[in-house]
Structure formats: structure tokens, C-alpha cells
Amino acid sequence: MKSSSTIVLKTLLNKATNSKKLLEFLPDSEKKEILDLDQTAFFSVDDFNIERILNNVHYSWLYATLFSLEDTSDAHILMSALSFSIQEKLKKALDISHKSVELSQFAKHYCLLVFLGSLLGEADTLLPKKYLPFSEMNILLELSKVELIKLIDFLALFDVAVDLKKMVDTKSIKLINSSLSSEQKQFLKKISSYQEPYSFTPLLSEWDKTEEQFHKILHKRGLNRLGFALCSSHPDLIWYITHFLDSGRGNSLIKFSEKKISAKVVHHIRAQVLEIINFIRKSR
């Protein structure tokens, strides 16, 4: 049984006067799923608020839905269901003129369902965040966008720590130091003795010695590590994290999270994620 179905069924059973008797009609495996759920697990209509879900999705993920429509008037109607903030971002990004159309509650709900359905694709189901199975990576859902981007960049500092030990070119070392923020330097000093327990391609092997490319390489490697940390995570957790970011970063995360990585490596990188989050929070 899918997790969402289990929660719905548990809610219905909780409302029934003869829930224990009804439970006996279920197969043992499904009965165990119900009993293993948190005793407070139940859902309300508000937990499945589509508008709230879409408000936490980066607007770049909505392009495909709008581009799939042949009639531009349909696109304007769909956009009108979104928050004013998202409408304005889409107008600017797509360079279009758009005047919001007043929609009935039913029409608005339908339009929001169209957007969400196109984002979910074949999965066609999404657990509310509060019902996700326990995972140490659920902490990612508590981060702001700024903090999540910072986490991604900080993850690559583990690679910088490894590469600096092998670097003899003082000019490159100075350039790296000047490219890092004071907070990044502080964290890099903290992990200076870090030893890589698995094989990653050297971070700076193709660096052209410019600050701009250094930051691009740093960010890409951070996405790589975060993707590995999300390996074997619940697909809905991955969905929330990837869609909170823009579609470019999000798709990169999805690609890395689908790699076949050993549990030992995943556990190790998750520990790095938690260490960085703790560091960031202490630095607030």
C-alpha cells in the first residue's frame, strides 16, 4: 500500500467506532503498515493544500505546463490561479504581458490541479511534508532557499580541503582563499584535516584559475554531494527539495540522487550535510 493510502485509511479507521474489528479484514502486511504509523498520523483537507504546495515550487518548473498550451489565452487563465508573486516572476522570466483573470474557486482549483498534475507526472501522488517517513534528511525541508544554496556550496568545501593538501601552486591557493567568504574559510579551517573515504574526481582538475569558474565548479560539486545524500530517500522528499530550487539545480539533484551509491557513502555524506546545517545555524 502506498504511504498516502495508508494514512488516509488510518484516518478513516480512527473515525470508525469498530476500527479494531475492521482492521482484522486487512492482509497482515497492510495491517502492520497501519499499526506502524505514528499514532497521531491523520490528515485534514488543509494538509493537501495545492496552492500552498505550488507556492513553494520554484516558478521555473511551471514553464513546461504553460508552453504545452497551444492557446495563449489558456496560459493566461492558468497563470491567474497562481499567487501574484509567481505570476509576476513568470511574466518577467517569459517576457510576456499578462493580465490576471478573475476565477471562481472551482476554476482556480482546477487550474492548480493542472499545474500540480504536470509536475507530478506518472507518480500522480504526493505526501504532505508532515507525513513523510522519518529521515535525517527531512531537516532539509526546514531550510530557507538561501540556506539550502549555502549548504550546497559548503558541501564542496570537503573537496577543496582534499585538493588543497595536494596543491603546491601558491598563486592558486591565494586565489581560492580570496574567492571564499569569511564563513566558508572558517568552515574550511574546521575540516582542514578531512580525508576523503571514497573516490571523487578532483574538484579543481579542470579549473581555469578564474573566480567565476571556481564558484561554478564549487556549486556543481555541492549539488553532486547533496544528490548522493538524497539517494534512497523517499521520492516525495526528493520532490519537495528539488522543486524548491530552480529546475536547473533541481534536475541536477534528481540525476545525482538516482545514482547507485553504496549505503556507506550515502551515510557519510549525510553526516556532512548535518554538520554543515549545524554550522550554518550556529552562525546565524
- Which residues 6+ apart lie within 8 Å of 108 measured at CB? 80, 81
pLDDT in tens, the chain (284 residues): 445 566 666 666 666 666 677 777 778 887 777 777 655 555 565 667 899 999 999 999 999 999 998 888 899 999 999 999 999 999 999 988 888 999 999 999 999 999 999 999 877 788 889 889 899 999 999 999 999 999 999 999 999 999 998 888 889 899 999 999 999 999 999 999 888 878 788 888 889 999 999 999 999 999 999 999 999 999 999 999 999 999 999 999 999 999 999 999 999 999 999 999 999 998 87
Report the pLDDT value the prediction gives residue 230, as an integer from 0 to 100. Answer: 98
Report the pLDDT value the prediction gives residue 26, as an integer from 0 to 100. Answer: 78
The domain segmentation of the chain, as residue ranges, is: 3-43, 47-123, 136-282
Report the pLDDT value the prediction gives residue 38, as an integer from 0 to 100. Answer: 57
Alpha helices, H only, the chain: 3-15, 19-23, 28-36, 50-55, 63-67, 72-80, 84-94, 105-120, 145-155, 157-166, 170-179, 182-190, 211-229, 235-244, 247-257, 263-282
Give dist(CA 26, CA 19) in Å, integer: 11
What contacts 24+ positions apart, CB below 8 Å, involve 65-74?
65/114, 65/115, 65/118, 65/119, 66/90, 66/94, 68/118
Report the pLDDT value the prediction gives residue 31, as an integer from 0 to 100. Answer: 76
Report the pLDDT value the prediction gives residue 210, as an integer from 0 to 100. Answer: 93
